[in-house]
Amino acid sequence: MGSHFTLPKGVAPCDGDAALCALLEPIRARYDLPSFAAAIVTIGERADVCTRICAVGYRQRGAAKPAVTVNDRWHIGSNTKAMTATVAARLVERGLLSWDTRVSACFPKFACHAAASSITLRQLLTHQSGLAANLSVAQTARARASQSELRQQRRQLVARLLSSPPSESPGTYSNLGFVVAAAMLEEVANCSFRELLQRELFAPLGVQSAGFGQSNTAGRADQPVGHGADGAPALGAGADNVPLLDPAGRVHLTLADWGRFVGEHMLGRRARSDLLPASTFVFLHGECSDRGSGSGWIPLTREWAGGLALTHSGSNTLNYAVVWMAPERGVAFLVCTNQANEQTAKACDEVVVALLDLWKSTQRRAQ
């Protein structure tokens, strides 16, 4: 790594919960990452959501200032998928479509290959559609050059995808599945995905920091700057996937606001959410299926979680974020960093373990 991209020597600046900062800084330094931000989200019997947050490190390599803060907005990548699925559930509950509505039913004028005619909203949101994982190089170039509104771009993509048989087997992780699902939501609600996300999710939860794409202004470190595997900061405009992929992984927001969303999913399972019925949250989490995937969540079994643990991660190759939730315990752990390389996931997992140990010790002292 060139000296231009090195980090200042010594302990990095910290903001927020001091106990969390003390856990994160040694891990950040050991893995030579620009920054970490983390949160412990809990729900109680009386209080709704309580969030402990900290941030350590720097918004950009090669610059001692500005440091990251607890109010910075972090790119959460594919953790956006759980948000898209939650919006879909809101429209399903309203009767605008069902989990078994076919894509072809929302776009009856599009020519449809027989093998694509049976793809449903449920399959799209659980990676069972057989659609490709990502846009091709040509599709990406077309999307970057397009001047059309995003809703129209998604309609055009749906038309192309429906005209051919699915290229992959069911169970293939598919960003395109969530893009097509969002096109269905846009069609039945007659408004853009961004408007839907704001109306159906962000406004009801009081989320005010959310946006799409890179969180920093191009050329400035006014928010955490994404860094590639080589440590180079991506300061230029368009340092993210194309906006067409908003529903699959382009949301950025503060950890407090992400915590509101995750906390709502824990509250929802206890019938304490106004967003959706408890049974719908259980459905979204996927624990009652044999698919191995929820809708934006991966259900697992962990002893520390008291049974069900839900997780997901996201990365645009410049940032990385991961969530672990234990709904039975009423606790979740969120971790973000502004560099993605082959060690980032391991580093974030170490942070999660440290947060879990801290939470366990806090629980023991409270008994």
More confident residue, 344 or 288: 344
CA 237 to chain centre: 21
**CB-neighbour burial class of residue 255 (10 A; exposed 0-12, middle 13-18, buried 19+):** buried
Q: What is the mean pLDDT of residues 245-268?
A: 97
- What are the φ/ψ torsions at residue 322 (nearest 5 degrees)? -140, 145
Percentage with pLDDT > 90 across the chain: 88
Answer whether residue 56 shows pLDDT above 50.
Answer: yes
Q: What is the mean pLDDT of residues 222-233?
A: 96
pLDDT of residue 3: 39
Q: Apex CA 356: angle with CA 352 and CA 359, to 5°? A: 140
Give the residue among 329, 350, 35, 74 at the shortest CA–CA distance from 310. 329
* Whole-angstrom distance, CA of residue 196 vs CA of residue 134: 23
Q: What is the mean pLDDT of residues 5-24?
A: 85
More confident residue, 48 or 226: 226
* Whole-angstrom distance, CA of residue 247 vs CA of residue 250: 7
DSSP string, 81-96: HHHHHHHHHHHHHTTS
* Whole-angstrom distance, CA of residue 199 vs CA of residue 87: 9
- The model's pLDDT over 131-142, given as tens digits with 9 standing for 90+, comes to 999 999 999 999
Tell me if residue 234 falls in helix, strand or coil: coil
**CB-neighbour burial class of residue 302 (10 A; exposed 0-12, middle 13-18, buried 19+):** middle
* Whole-angstrom distance, CA of residue 261 vs CA of residue 248: 16
Answer whether residue 9 shows pLDDT above 80.
Answer: no
- The model's pLDDT over 290-324, given as tens digits with 9 standing for 90+, comes to 556 899 999 999 999 999 999 999 999 999 999 99
Helix axes 255-269, 278-285, angle to 10 degrees: 110
How confident is the prediction for the chain on average, in pLDDT?
94
CB-based contact 214:234 (threshold 8 Å): yes
CB-based contact 233:5 (threshold 8 Å): yes
Across 8-12, 178-182, 194-198, least confident range: 8-12
Task: Give the max Cα distance, the chain.
Answer: 63
Q: pLDDT band for position 2 (50/70/90)?
A: very low
**How many CA atoms, within 13 angstroms, populate the side-chain half-sphere of residue 213?**
15
Percentage with pLDDT > 70 across the chain: 95
pLDDT of residue 1: 38
pLDDT of residue 367: 73
pLDDT of residue 7: 64
Q: What are the structure tokens assigned to 329, written together?
A: 């315990």
CB-based contact 57:28 (threshold 8 Å): yes
Q: pLDDT band for position 288 (50/70/90)?
A: low
Q: What is the mean pLDDT of residues 43-64?
A: 86
- The model's pLDDT over 339-358, given as tens digits with 9 standing for 90+, comes to 999 999 999 999 999 999 99
> If you search the block for the tokens 């998604």, which residue do you land on?
154
* Whole-angstrom distance, CA of residue 174 vs CA of residue 310: 19
pLDDT of residue 289: 55
Give the residue among 1, 247, 295, 307 at the shortest CA–CA distance from 123. 295
Answer whether residue 206 shows pLDDT above 80.
Answer: yes
Output the CA torsion 74→75→80→86 (10° steps): 20
pTM: 0.95
Number of Cβ within a 10 Å radius of residue 199: 14
More confident residue, 238 or 262: 262
Q: What is the mean pLDDT of residues 254-279?
A: 96
Output the CA torsion 264→171→349→366 (10° steps): 40
- The model's pLDDT over 325-344, given as tens digits with 9 standing for 90+, comes to 999 999 999 999 999 999 99
Answer whether residue 198 shows pLDDT above 50.
Answer: yes
Q: What is the mean pLDDT of residues 74-86?
A: 98
